[in-house]
Structure 1
């Protein structure tokens, strides 16, 4: 599990002072890129050096409690499924000791050399992702 820390900004909230729900998806995206950086494969380096990206195929989020301006939040991210070319990363949003939201993203390991095409996730990266992951064949 990797953690991504942030503080809710004024622009993240609606007129009632509650976080506007699309921001949870933005934060899941940020947490995924932070996860990749922490396992030694920052997205910027993957793209500039190998033309590799991890486009989003699916995302969902369940909201349990609102967040407000200046709340401190930790997103705990764990790869829950690891397929040959696709991975599912779970994100748990925690404020203090309370889980306020949970979601996941499904992403494809994709080469952008020419036409975009999914490729097998390299073995060294798979090993780093699998430290707390259930591998799924396919």
Structure 2
């Protein structure tokens, strides 16, 4: 399966409950770290914000679905598997894999936020898309 970027983690005791169900905040943390690791390939969050005149490349929406247990010591790979570039948002799809086994899926919607008339607003994604070579 093609992917845009991936990050690796060692699952530790406390990342999941005794049944191996990953705590949702951990899935969200792993996804967020993978996203920011991907941004580093283009100079990182702060650099891109400066280039775009943005306050931040922020999260608009996030959801995750548990698929199979994770255990202490598992090697988890979080993979960005899809990007859907909208006019003012970017939908990114992820998979959390232990080997070939799907542990979770996640989707997040991101935006480029700028200060306009004293308020935050979502800017067009075209400039970020160009900087990311997409």
Same fold, TM exceeding 0.5?
Answer: yes
How does the TM-score come out when normalised to structure 1?
0.77
Residues 1:89 and 2:82 aligned together: no
- Specify the alignment match of 2:48 in structure 1: 46
Count of residue correspondences: 127
Alpha carbons 2:11, 2:73 under 8 Å: kept: yes
The answer to which of 74-83 and 89-98 deviates more is 74-83
CA distance in structure 2 between the partners assigned to 1:78 and 1:25 by the alignment:
16
Normalized per residue, the structure richer in helix is 1
Q: What residue ranges of structure 2 are gaps of 5+ in the alignment?
A: none
CA distance in structure 2 between the partners assigned to 1:27 and 1:82 by the alignment:
22
- Specify the alignment match of 1:100 in structure 2: 103
CA distance in structure 2 between the partners assigned to 1:69 and 1:29 by the alignment:
21
Residue deviations 1:23-77 (CA, integer Å, cap 9, x gap)? 1111111111112222x14113334664441221111111110112221111111
Residue deviations 1:80-100 (CA, integer Å, cap 9, x gap)? 210122000011111011111
Alpha carbons 2:24, 2:64 under 8 Å: kept: no
